């Protein structure tokens, strides 16, 4: 099984390789070729920033998906391990990414049998699993039959959410924080509460942001994308504009909310006016640069979320009180 060690700040200071408690974390990267590498990079960076004094060993897996191009399949062959290697292992923590939905109903997705097996595996063989975006919707549907609901238009941008519950996952978090969201579907908060899920953060716009359910393993569901890099949303926006120009979507995409400054948003508005009705590819040659004009106000809260999660894993794996205080707390201090 492919395994890599995240280099932590403490290593660079004192050269220790195994001087601190270690955690084995799996990442199941379900993205298609355009986002495979960037998604892995985002989660690696976030885990590194959140790890503090912990030694984190990362194992990267991927669910087989026939929609992948040859380039995507080659990336998976070189960088990921198949799920067959996972079933007989036990991980401390697991992160499962989403992917672009193609079918209206989950059972119609080609990866559904493998994903349901992964959901069952995670509940019995991890201390905790983070289910990201579409993976959160899939897990809730498989576990409790709660259906995602489609939006009239894509929820896209950076939104302020408020803390709505106490739990180790949001320990020492501020009362409000910002988080990117990029999705076409959502889960009704009232159905989650009726299914014994605990909502830890929410907003009137995005609904439930982070929620959890405790079983043999702690399931953490994140509908947003705290792992995103500063330019991820603008890259998604450009992709959607290209799809409009190519005739792959009927409507011009909305500008991500709460993300561009006023001047940059105006430039993208001018681009829209130039493209609508023409769909000429050459207009994208002047796609405005947003460098230096993007909001990146979610990083601190993202590091806090993942450092709390790593601390939770550590505290469960190493129940000795001295380790809890001296080493497991190191992850949360990283935030």
Kindly tell me if the per-residue pLDDT of 156 is higher than 50. yes
Average pLDDT over residues 9-30: 63
Could you give the angle at the alpha carbon of 262 between the alpha carbons of 256 and 266, nearest 5°? 80
Out of 1-10, 22-31, 169-178, 308-317, which region has the weakest mean confidence (pLDDT)? 1-10
Q: Catalytic pick from 40, 109, 227, 236?
A: 227
Residue 192: which of 155, 140, 119 has the closest Cα? Answer: 140
SS3 assignment, position 289: coil
Known active-site residue 137:
no
Alpha carbons 209 and 189: distance in angstroms, whole number: 10
The owner of tokens 């050459």 is: 282
Closest CA to 148 of 156, 136, 158, 164: 136
Nearest to 60 by CA among 16, 114, 6: 6
Please report the pLDDT score of residue 332 as a whole number: 57
Confidence of residue 70 (pLDDT cuts 50, 70, 90): low
Per DSSP, the three-state class of 32 is: coil
Average pLDDT, integer, range 45-49: 95
Whether 133 sits among the annotated catalytic residues: the reply is: yes
Q: Give the chain's mean pLDDT.
A: 86
Question: What is the reported pLDDT for 144?
Answer: 98
Four-residue CA torsion sign, 18, 22, 24, 29: negative
Contacts of 290 (CB under 8 A, 6+ apart): 231, 234, 260, 264
For 236-254, the pLDDT digits (tens) are 999 999 888 888 888 999 9
Smallest CA-to-CA distance from 59 within 23, 35, 21 is with 23
Neighbour count for residue 237 (Cβ, 10 Å):
22
- Higher per-residue confidence, 47 vs 291: 47
CB count within 10 Å of CB 90 equals 11
Q: Are 119 and 141 in contact (CB under 8 A)?
A: no
Catalytic residue among 40, 80, 133, 236: 133
Q: Which residue ranges form the domains of the chain, and what is each CATH number?
A: 4-151+185-227+300-333 (3.40.50.880), 232-286 (no CATH)
Tokens of 191: 């159905």
Eight-class DSSP state of 264: H
- Strand pairing category for 4-6 and 207-214: unpaired
By the 8 A CB rule, do 170 and 210 touch? Answer: yes
pLDDT of residue 66: 59
In this structure, the number of other CB atoms found within 10 A of the CB of residue 44 comes to 17
User: What is the value of pTM for the model shown?
Assistant: 0.90
pLDDT score of 75: 73
Q: What are the E-state strand segments in the chain?
A: 4-6, 22-28, 55-62, 81-82, 93-96, 128-132, 149-163, 176-186, 198-203, 207-214, 218-222
Check residues 228 and 295 and name the one with the higher pLDDT.
Answer: 228
Predicted local distance difference test score (pLDDT) of residue 15: 29
Give helix then strand counts, H and E, for the chain: 11, 11
Q: Which helix (H) or strand (E) holds 128?
A: strand 128-132
Q: Which listed residue (225, 236, 314, 328) is catalytic?
A: 225
* Residues 335, 299: Cα–Cα separation, whole Å: 10
Assess whether 227 carries a catalytic annotation: yes
Q: Is residue 17 predicted with pLDDT exceeding 50?
A: no
Query: How far is Cα 156 from Cα 163, in angstroms, rounded to an integer?
Result: 21
280-324 pLDDT, tens per residue?
665 566 788 887 788 899 999 999 999 999 999 999 998 875 555
pLDDT for the residue numbered 103? 85
At residue 255, the pLDDT reads: 95
The model's confidence at residue 333, banded by pLDDT at 50, 70 and 90, is low
pLDDT of res. 74: 74
Cα torsion angle, 152, 258, 210, 309, sign: positive
Question: If you search the block for the tokens 């697991």, which residue do you land on?
Answer: 94
């Amino acid at each position: 099984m492919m395994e890599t060690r995240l280099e932590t700040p403490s290593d660079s200071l004192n050269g220790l390789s195994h001087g601190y408690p270690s955690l084995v974390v799996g990442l199941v990267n379900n993205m298609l070729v355009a986002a495979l590498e960037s998604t892995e990079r985002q989660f690696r960076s976030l885990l590194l920033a959140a790890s503090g004094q912990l030694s984190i060993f990362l194992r990267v897996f991927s669910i087989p998906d026939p929609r992948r191009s040859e380039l995507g399949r080659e990336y998976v062959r070189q960088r990921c391990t198949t799920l067959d290697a996972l079933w007989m292992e036990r991980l401390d923590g697991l992160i499962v990414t989403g992917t672009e939905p193609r079918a209206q109903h989950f059972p119609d997705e080609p990866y559904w049998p493998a994903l349901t097996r992964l959901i069952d595996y995670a509940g019995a063989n991890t201390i905790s699993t983070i289910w990201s975006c579409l993976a959160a919707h899939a897990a809730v549907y498989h576990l409790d039959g709660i259906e995602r609901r489609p939006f009239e238009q894509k929820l896209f941008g950076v939104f302020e959410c408020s803390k709505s519950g106490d739990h180790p996952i949001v320990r020492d978090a501020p009362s409000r924080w910002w988080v990117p969201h990029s999705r076409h579907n959502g889960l009704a908060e009232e159905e989650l509460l009726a299914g014994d899920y605990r909502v830890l953060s929410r907003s009137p716009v995005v609904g439930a942001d982070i929620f959890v359910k405790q079983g043999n393993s702690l399931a953490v569901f994140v509908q947003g994308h705290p792992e995103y890099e500063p330019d991820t949303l603008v890259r998604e926006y450009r992709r959607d504009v290209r799809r409009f120009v190519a005739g792959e979507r009927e409507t011009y995409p909305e500008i991500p909310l709460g993300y561009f400054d006023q001047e940059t948003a105006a430039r993208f508005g001018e681009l829209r006016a130039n493209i609508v009705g023409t769909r000429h590819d050459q207009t994208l040659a002047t796609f405005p640069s947003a460098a230096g004009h993007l909001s990146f106000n979610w990083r601190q809260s993202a590091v806090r979320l993942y450092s709390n999660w790593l601390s939770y894993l550590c505290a469960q794996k190493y129940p000795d009180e001295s380790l809890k205080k001296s080493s497991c707390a190191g992850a949360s201090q990283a935030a």
